[in-house]
């Protein structure tokens, strides 16, 4: 039986001009290769996989009311984090990490987010050169699951995503609980605990019609300019990823003890009202927990709100973002009360997310124990778009590789130290990460177990 | 170099994915950048509308295309320009593959195969190979907008035969699988330019007839080329000035040109952003969720009627008192309509409504969910209508005074905005944006007319480029008379037509089109015809600029 890697190598050669042209595939050339074996080793009753994800919210925090005073495991919960009380042991707070701007302008709601994600604050979308770190991690561990990564947002807009190969290639989000259910648990879902498994030949057909490489296509690749060629390569890379996914559908999935089919959600309209958003987010978080427990993916991104935050309250003329800039600081309280409410509710939603992951039993612990989630915002203090002390948090223990429930207070190192750390924990072979003043080579060893 | 800075008052659009061109500091919107010539793209991803229209034209309007498409990317103000920078992500490919299967399964199902396939295995063709060949030759030409090459045809047939075996011998299911492969191909999902030596200009490259057919058809009709256009490509007619003009005239004279023009206006005015607009139900109870859909339709109908059907002066869109109206919109406009469906109302002189800026699509689209925003409206006028880039606001903003509605000095939005203009850094940009938007303050965040705000009569005086005026109607007239507005539209239309940013070598073509637009008394069909009949529009010298061609491109750029 031909091995998939061989065939893919062949496709690549065909595309890049060297090899013969394939006009067809052997009938049953569809079963897995090296990565399939790797999958069997991690999923099939062996070690449980470690999953990585990000959780994003827009418009930051009020730093004095968000950052704990005490460091280490006994950290206090400031008012905006009060809702994390029951999950504090799972959550590490990372305060005091900065985005060095190297003399460039701080592009509001953009520089901070992009620096955390790509290792450098780009000047505009199209100037983003590096992939976001979830993509780097998915490249390292994403194969062998049905979805290489899942991008999610409860805000109804597939454009709400901060996951990209570069500034021209955003991975669009699944924008609602119902669509998420249909994509993950719809007709293509194969219950890993089902006793019966019959490979469906339709997956073989789908895979084979995607795979052919023609002489005409080879010539096209030769005459494209460099930028177009990169875009065409990206298309062909996507083709290969879909082929791999279809190949997985032809294998009996290894059993997954905690996998249960979730209930189908209703078709509620997305909203910018924070209470409605939080409810949709909770549904999606619980569904994501099942998607992870069912080995549908190992990498995900959840965007609770867009950078700068679109959240508001029904009936109020002014939303979260406008309030950060416009609300007067209450002289008695010493802070902006409406902003404080929005941040606190956003942090409560983050608590919902952590709780949903911790609620699933897996092995001797919980699903969350086998996860690493990086939560962060686009700015620290929304009022002035500050990117010093950018708020970040981690949840999960990455399969026992790290400690959780710590407050690490840093004195202004680049945010990229966190990005480098999570990549290393997730097995990305990187000894340094970031560009310019953001380039770092020291992970946060104090997190290591 | 320090730019004048600007505080965007609570720009909700900030860095949403669709607004890159608007928010990014890179590149000017109208003038080609001063950088050295770069290769222009040869790949343009079909927009969702182009994909849908192509399927409907090739296989029939009853073929269902249901599913999400990968989001488009706005570059330099246009999704059309973003189409030459995007590719297909894995998630996007999965969606294309699902759409391809959905379409292919319908084409070969029992209800369609007679009409759309028209043959099958029979005694003369027992395994159906001849039928499959004829089918793929026919639909392949339409889908790839050129004849399939030998290995493409062979692959489609081999895919079908293999699938037939795997699927229990079902001939048509096999054919559907082969078709699904074609539909998932980069050759269908992207318009791909192919160039040849220019027969009329030795040493230059130009697009071949098939690529010209695609350009004409996707620009003028927003869909795949029809049989006649493909025949003109095959015969070589599209490589001659006369043949090109004949096809351009045929396409522009067709009612389907209205579809193409509508797509241009939709992209020009960034109406895709309206898809995510919602209004607070308790603040604007009359604004139902689908009102914004009707408002978009209203604006597009009005533009197509005025500028294409009526061949009106482009500038009149800013002043025209005729507006399409339906039952959904009439309460918001407080304008009764007698008829079901759409009819046209004409506002009398003296009425506050007139021109595109007084329509709900513009007014509500550039407002917050619960209030109006002179800044967003002013920014939209500068960027969309005048091609003036508004730089990103400085990071360290503080304008709490804007929110201080309890202060008796600041009862209206104008008073609050003017107070915050005392900040010099903010003022440099806000004094350009706000006076435009303030002229529209008689319309609230949902686009409804109002005379007062918090009990104070609204002062709607404004200013554009040193010209002072009062209210929305005068704003429309001032913009109507400002030469930047039609020049900007000509540049935008050229970018839209080329499907990319302009580069220095486009300078002569851009200047020529601006002059032609003026000389044609600002008739939009004439502008578009001038573009598609210009040899420069099909030049492929920039696709891979090397050696001699690079030097020429630099020279052309140097003439700017």
**Helices within B41-149 (DSSP H only):** 48-59, 79-82, 90-107, 113-116, 129-144
Most A CBs within 10 Å, among B4, B17, B180, to test the A interface: B17
Contact criterion met (CB below 8 Å) for B113 and B133: no
C-alpha–C-alpha distance, residues B419 and A408, integer Å? 42
pLDDT tens digits along A399-431? 999 999 999 999 999 999 999 999 999 999 999
- The HSE-up count of residue A127 (CA atoms within 13 Å, CB side) is 17
CA distance B265 to chain A (A): 22
CA neighbor of A176 nearest in space, from A240, A269, A253: A269
Query: For residue A379, how many other CB atoms are within 10 A of its CB?
Result: 31
CA distance A90 to chain B (A): 31
Closest Cα in chain B to A147: B91
Does the distance separating the beta carbons of A168 and B85 come in below 8 Å? yes
- Torsion sign across C-alpha atoms B479, B481, B482, B486: positive
Q: Which residue has the tokens 């190949």?
A: A247
pLDDT tens digits along B134-156? 999 999 999 999 999 999 999 99
Does the distance separating the beta carbons of B152 and A242 come in below 8 Å? no
Q: Estimate the share of chain B in helix, then strand, then coil, as percent rounded to the nearest 5.
A: 50, 5, 40
ipTM of this model? 0.88
Beta carbons within 8 Å of A332's beta carbon, 6+ residues apart? none
- Which DSSP string corresponds to B491-546? HHHHHHHHTS---GGGHHHHHHHHHHHHHTTTBHHHHHHHHHT-GGGGB-TTTS--
Mean pLDDT value across residues B12-23? 33
C-alpha–C-alpha distance, residues A22 and A5, integer Å? 15
Crossing angle between the packed helical segments B150-166 and A215-223, to the nearest 10 degrees: 130
Does the distance separating the beta carbons of A383 and B398 come in below 8 Å? yes
- Helical (H) or strand (E) element with B218: helix B209-220
Q: Does A338 touch chain B (CB under 8 A)?
A: no
Does the distance separating the beta carbons of B369 and A272 come in below 8 Å? yes
Of A223, A326, A384, the CB nearest to B10: A326
Q: Does B309 touch chain A (CB under 8 A)?
A: no
Contact criterion met (CB below 8 Å) for B39 and A231: no
Q: Higher pLDDT residue, B408 or B72?
A: B72
Does the distance separating the beta carbons of B39 and A225 come in below 8 Å? yes
CA distance A212 to chain B (A): 7
Residue B558's pLDDT is 37
Question: Across chain B, how many H-helices and E-strands are there?
Answer: 25, 10
C-alpha–C-alpha distance, residues B351 and A233, integer Å? 57
∠ CA B380-B384-B389 to the nearest 5 degrees?
80
Does the distance separating the beta carbons of A159 and B18 come in below 8 Å? yes
Instruction: Give how far the C-alpha of residue B486 lies from the chain's centroid of Cα atoms, to the nearest Å.
Output: 17
Strands (E) in A222-364, as ranges, are 299-303, 361-362
Instruction: Give me the total of CB pairs closer than 8 Å, taking one residue from chain A and one from chain B.
Output: 254
**Radius of gyration in angstroms for the set of CA atoms belonging to chain A, rounded to a whole number:** 23
Of B73, B148, B369, the CB nearest to A319: B369
Q: Does A153 touch chain B (CB under 8 A)?
A: no
Mean pLDDT value across residues B186-209? 94
Residue B559's pLDDT is 34
Residue B172's pLDDT is 98
C-alpha–C-alpha distance, residues B30 and B334, integer Å? 38
In chain B, the percentage of residues whose pLDDT exceeds 70 is 86
Residue B320 pLDDT exceeds 50: yes
Residue B8's pLDDT is 35
| Three-class SS of A245-263 | HHHHHCCCCCCCCCCCCCC
Reduced to 3 states, what is the DSSP secondary structure of residue A417?
Answer: helix
Residue B404's pLDDT is 55
Residue B288 carries which DSSP code?
-
CA neighbor of B330 nearest in space, from B348, B312, B342: B342
Does the distance separating the beta carbons of B73 and A308 come in below 8 Å? no
Interface of A with B in 191-250 (CB under 8 A): 201-202, 204-206, 208-210, 212, 214-217, 220, 223-228, 230-232, 234-239, 241-242, 245
Q: Does A320 touch chain B (CB under 8 A)?
A: no
Interface of A with B in 271-310 (CB under 8 A): 271-272, 306-308, 310
Contact criterion met (CB below 8 Å) for B400 and B459: no
CA neighbor of B308 nearest in space, from B245, B221, B387, B214: B221
CA distance B43 to chain A (A): 6
Mean pLDDT value across residues B98-120? 97
Residue A148 carries which DSSP code?
S
Q: Does B550 touch chain A (CB under 8 A)?
A: no
End-to-end CA distance of chain B: 23
Of A24, A124, A329, the CB nearest to B25: A124
Sorted by where each starts, the structural domains of chain A and their CATH numbers stand as: 1-30+200-250 (no CATH), 51-193+259-447 (3.40.720)
Contact criterion met (CB below 8 Å) for B11 and B375: yes
Interface of B with A in 265-304 (CB under 8 A): 276, 278, 280-283, 289
Mean pLDDT value across residues B244-257? 98
Q: Which residue has the tokens 């550039």?
A: B366
CA distance A241 to chain B (A): 6
Residues in B closer than 8 angstroms to A326, CB to CB, are: 10, 399-400, 402-403
pLDDT tens digits along B330-362? 999 999 987 789 999 999 999 999 999 999 999
Tokens, residue A425: 């924990």
Residues in A closer than 8 angstroms to B81, CB to CB, are: none
Task: Indicate the length of chain B as a whole number.
Answer: 560
Residue B271 carries which DSSP code?
G
Residue A7 pLDDT exceeds 50: no
Residue A124 pLDDT exceeds 60: yes
Q: Which long-range contacts link B231-238 to residues 24+ away (Cβ below 8 Å)?
A: B233/B146, B233/B208, B233/B209, B234/B209, B236/B209, B237/B209, B238/B209, B238/B212, B238/B213
What is the rounded (10 degree) CA torsion for A188, A190, A195, A199? 60
Query: At A55, phi and psi to the nearest 5?
Result: -135, 120
Confidence of residue A29 (pLDDT cuts 50, 70, 90): very low
Contact criterion met (CB below 8 Å) for B328 and B315: no
Q: Which residue has the tokens 């209030």?
A: B371
Residue A172 carries which DSSP code?
P
Interface of B with A in 21-80 (CB under 8 A): 23-26, 38-39, 41-43, 68, 70-71, 73, 75
Does the distance separating the beta carbons of A170 and B73 come in below 8 Å? yes
CA distance B202 to chain A (A): 20
Distances (CA, A) of B312 to A379, B110, B524: 48, 48, 8
Tokens, residue B102: 């959905």
∠ CA A33-A39-A42 to the nearest 5 degrees?
150
Instruction: Give how far the C-alpha of residue B404 lies from the chain's centroid of Cα atoms, to the nearest Å.
Output: 39
Most B CBs within 10 Å, among A147, A205, A248, A271, to test the B interface: A205
C-alpha–C-alpha distance, residues A173 and A177, integer Å? 12
Closest Cα in chain A to B70: A172
Confidence of residue B390 (pLDDT cuts 50, 70, 90): confident
∠ CA B115-B119-B122 to the nearest 5 degrees?
150
Contact criterion met (CB below 8 Å) for A255 and A45: yes
pLDDT tens digits along A346-378? 999 999 999 999 999 998 999 999 999 999 999
Widest distance between CA atoms in chain B: 91
pLDDT tens digits along B416-470? 777 767 677 777 788 889 999 999 999 999 999 999 988 899 999 999 989 999 9
Residue B549 pLDDT exceeds 70: no
Most B CBs within 10 Å, among A326, A382, A390, to test the B interface: A326
C-alpha–C-alpha distance, residues B103 and B183, integer Å? 9
Q: Does A123 touch chain B (CB under 8 A)?
A: yes
Does the distance separating the beta carbons of A170 and B89 come in below 8 Å? yes
Query: For residue A180, how many other CB atoms are within 10 A of its CB?
Result: 25
User: Residue A251: exposed, middle, or buried by beta-carbon count in 10 A (0-12, 13-18, 19+)?
Assistant: middle
CA neighbor of A285 nearest in space, from A132, A365, A394, A174: A174
Contact criterion met (CB below 8 Å) for B193 and B176: no
- Which DSSP string corresponds to B219-244? HHTSS---HHHHHHHHHTGGGSHHHH
C-alpha–C-alpha distance, residues A107 and A101, integer Å? 10
Residue A15's pLDDT is 35
Beta carbons within 8 Å of B457's beta carbon, 6+ residues apart? B451
Residue A19 carries which DSSP code?
S
Contact criterion met (CB below 8 Å) for A372 and A425: yes
Mean pLDDT value across residues A41-60? 77
Q: Does B14 touch chain A (CB under 8 A)?
A: yes
C-alpha–C-alpha distance, residues A162 and A139, integer Å? 16
Does the distance separating the beta carbons of B403 and A323 come in below 8 Å? yes
- Helical (H) or strand (E) element with A191: none
CA distance B344 to chain A (A): 32
Query: For residue B231, how many other CB atoms are within 10 A of its CB?
Result: 14
Q: Does B454 touch chain A (CB under 8 A)?
A: no
Does the distance separating the beta carbons of A123 and B94 come in below 8 Å? no
C-alpha–C-alpha distance, residues B44 and B215, integer Å? 10
Q: Does B368 touch chain A (CB under 8 A)?
A: yes
Does the distance separating the beta carbons of A212 and B155 come in below 8 Å? yes
In chain A, the percentage of residues whose pLDDT exceeds 90 is 74
Tokens, residue A273: 């009202």
Closest Cα in chain A to B282: A315
Residues in B closer than 8 angstroms to A170, CB to CB, are: 17, 71, 73, 89
Residue B399's pLDDT is 56
Interface of B with A in 502-541 (CB under 8 A): none
Q: Does B244 touch chain A (CB under 8 A)?
A: no
CA distance A220 to chain B (A): 9
Of A25, A171, A230, the CB nearest to B91: A171
**Range scoring the smallest mean pLDDT among A306-310, B50-54, B258-262, B556-560:** B556-560
Residues in A closer than 8 angstroms to B276, CB to CB, are: 156-157
Confidence of residue A41 (pLDDT cuts 50, 70, 90): very low
């Amino acid at each position: 039986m031909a091995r998939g890697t061989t065939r893919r190598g062949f496709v690549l050669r065909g595309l890049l001009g060297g090899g013969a042209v394939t006009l067809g595939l052997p009938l049953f050339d569809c079963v897995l290769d090296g990565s399939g074996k790797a999958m069997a080793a991690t999923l099939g009753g062996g070690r449980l996989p470690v999953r990585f994800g990000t959780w994003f919210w827009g418009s930051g925090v009020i730093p004095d009311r968000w950052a704990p005073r005490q460091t280490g495991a006994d950290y206090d919960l400031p008012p905006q984090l009060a809702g994390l009380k029951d999950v504090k042991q799972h959550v590490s707070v990372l305060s005091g990490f900065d985005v060095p701007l190297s003399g460039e302008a701080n592009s509001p709601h953009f520089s901070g987010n992009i620096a955390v994600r790509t290792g450098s604050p780009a000047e505009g979308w199209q100037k983003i050169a590096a992939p976001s770190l979830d993509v780097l991690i998915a490249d390292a561990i994403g194969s062998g699951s049905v979805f290489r990564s899942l991008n999610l947002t409860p805000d109804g807009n597939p454009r709400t995503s901060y996951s990209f190969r570069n500034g021209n290639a955003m991975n669009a989000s699944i924008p609602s609980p119902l669509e998420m259910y249909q994509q993950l648990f719809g007709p293509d879902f194969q219950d890993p605990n089902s006793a019966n498994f019959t490979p469906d030949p339709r997956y073989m057909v789908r895979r084979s019609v995607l795979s052919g490489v023609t002489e005409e296509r080879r010539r096209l690749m030769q005459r494209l300019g460099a930028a177009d060629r990169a875009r065409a390569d990206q298309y062909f890379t996507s083709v290969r990823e879909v082929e791999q996914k279809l190949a997985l559908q032809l294998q009996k999935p290894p059993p997954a003890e905690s996998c249960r089919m979730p209930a189908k959600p209703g078709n509620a309209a997305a909203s910018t009202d924070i209470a409605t958003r939080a409810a949709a987010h909770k549904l999606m978080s619980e569904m994501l927990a099942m998607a992870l427990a069912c080995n549908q993916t190992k990498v995900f991104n959840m965007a609770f709100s867009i950078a700068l935050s679109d959240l508001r309250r029904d009936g109020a003329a002014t939303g979260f973002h406008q309030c950060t800039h416009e609300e007067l600081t209450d002289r008695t309280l010493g802070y902006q009360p409406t902003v404080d409410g929005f941040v606190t509710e956003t942090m409560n939603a983050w608590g919902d997310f952590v709780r949903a992951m911790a609620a699933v039993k897996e092995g001797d612990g919980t699903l969350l124990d086998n996860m690493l989630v990086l939560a962060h915002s686009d700015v620290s203090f929304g009022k002035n778009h500050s990117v010093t002390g950018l708020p970040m948090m981690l949840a999960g223990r990455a399969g026992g590789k790290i400690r959780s429930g710590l407050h690490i207070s840093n004195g202004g190192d680049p945010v990229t130290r966190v990005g480098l750390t999570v990549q290393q924990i997730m097995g990305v072979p990187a000894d340094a990460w970031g560009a310019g003043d953001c380039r770092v080579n020291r992970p946060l060893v104090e997190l290591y177990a | 170099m320090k730019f004048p800075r600007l505080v965007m008052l609570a720009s909700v659009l900030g860095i949403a994915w669709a607004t890159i061109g608007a928010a990014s500091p890179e590149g000017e919107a109208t003038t080609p950048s001063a950088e050295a010539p770069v290769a222009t793209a040869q790949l343009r991803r079909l927009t969702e509308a182009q994909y849908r229209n192509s399927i409907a034209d090739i296989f029939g309007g009853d073929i269902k295309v249901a599913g999400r498409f990968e989001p488009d990317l706005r570059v330099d103000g246009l999704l059309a320009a973003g189409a030459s920078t995007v590719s297909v992500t894995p998630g996007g490919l999965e969606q294309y593959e699902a759409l391809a299967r959905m379409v292919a399964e319908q084409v070969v199902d029992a209800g369609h195969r007679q009409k759309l396939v028209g043959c099958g295995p029979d005694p003369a063709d027992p395994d159906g190979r001849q039928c499959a060949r004829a089918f793929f030759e026919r639909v392949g030409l339409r889908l790839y907008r050129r004849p399939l090459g030998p290995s493409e045809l062979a692959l489609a047939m081999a895919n079908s035969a293999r699938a037939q075996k795997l699927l229990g011998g079902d001939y048509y299911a096999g054919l559907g699988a082969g078709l699904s492969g074609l539909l998932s191909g980069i050759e269908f999902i992207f318009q791909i330019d192919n160039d040849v030596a220019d027969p009329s200009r030795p040493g230059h490259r130009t697009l071949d007839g098939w690529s010209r057919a695609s350009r004409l058809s996707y620009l003028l009709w927003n869909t795949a080329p029809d049989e006649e256009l493909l025949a003109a490509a095959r015969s070589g007619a599209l490589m001659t000035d006369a043949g090109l003009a004949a096809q351009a005239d045929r396409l522009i004279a067709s009612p389907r040109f209205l579809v193409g023009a509508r797509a241009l206006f939709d992209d020009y005015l960034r109406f895709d952003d309206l898809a995510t607009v919602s209004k607070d139900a308790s603040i604007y109870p009359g604004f139902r969720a689908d009102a914004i859909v009707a408002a978009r339709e209203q604006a597009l109908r009005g533009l197509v009627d005025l500028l294409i059907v009526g061949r009106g002066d482009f500038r009149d869109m800013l002043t025209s008192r005729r507006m399409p109206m339906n039952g959904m919109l009439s309460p918001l406009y407080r304008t009764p309509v007698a008829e079901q469906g759409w009819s046209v109302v004409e506002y009398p002189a003296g009425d506050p409504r007139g021109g595109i800026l007084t329509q709900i699509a513009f007014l509500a689209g550039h407002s917050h969910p619960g209030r109006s925003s002179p800044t967003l409206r002013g920014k939209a006028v500068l960027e969309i209508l005048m091609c003036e880039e508004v730089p990103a606001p400085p990071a360290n903003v503080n304008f709490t005074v804007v929110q201080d509605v309890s202060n008796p000095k600041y009862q209206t939005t104008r008073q609050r905005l003017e107070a915050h203009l005392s900040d010099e850094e903010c003022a440099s940009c806000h004094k350009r944006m706000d006076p435009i938007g303030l002229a529209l303050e008689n319309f609230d965040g949902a686009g409804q007319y109002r005379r007062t705000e918090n009990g104070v009569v609204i002062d709607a005086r404004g200013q554009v480029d040193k010209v002072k005026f009062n209210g929305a109607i005068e704003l429309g007239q001032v913009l109507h008379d400002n030469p930047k507005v039609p020049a900007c539209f000509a540049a935008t239309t050229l970018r839209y037509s080329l499907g990319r940013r302009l580069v220095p070598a486009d300078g002569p073509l851009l200047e020529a089109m601006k002059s032609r637009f003026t000389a044609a008394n600002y008739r939009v069909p004439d502008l578009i015809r001038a573009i598609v009949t210009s040899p420069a529009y099909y030049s492929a010298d920039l696709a891979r600029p090397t050696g001699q061609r690079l030097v020429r491109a630099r020279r052309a750029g140097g003439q700017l």
